[in-house]
Amino acid sequence: MKVKVLLFAQHCEAVGKKEIEVDLGKIDKITAGELYQRLAREYPKLKKLAKVTLAVVNNDMVNARALVKDGDEVAFFPPMGGA
């Protein structure tokens, strides 16, 4: 299973890339949250960021329990604040 991961703001800075092609091998299903945790193991600087992130799968905002499938595009945004 392969997915494209897009990273923004602090996530991009932590990884050093705006986009990553992730090969999950023979895994046939994973949640957005599990994918983020897997990335955090590979890129330790992600662990230092807030665990709550905005995930978007194929242009749809999702929660951490949303399933990611082969060929999906997943974007992770850090938490955003505002006045």
| CATH number of the domain bearing residue 27 | 3.10.20.30
Q: Is position 51 within any domain? A: yes
Q: Give the pLDDT confidence of 15-34 residue by residue, as tens digits.
A: 999 999 999 999 888 999 99
Q: Is position 83 within any domain? A: no
pTM score, whole prediction:
0.88
Do residues 41 and 34 make contact, with C-beta atoms less than 8 angstroms apart? no
Range of the domain at 14: 2-77
Q: Is position 82 within any domain? A: no
Residue 83 has pLDDT above 60, yes or no: no
Place 36 in a pLDDT band, splitting at 50, 70 and 90. very high
Q: How many domains does the chain have?
A: 1
Closest CA to 34 of 14, 5, 71: 5
pLDDT of 70 reads 96
Q: Is position 53 within any domain? A: yes
Place 56 in a pLDDT band, splitting at 50, 70 and 90. very high
Residue 52 has pLDDT above 80, yes or no: no
Residue 43 has pLDDT above 60, yes or no: yes
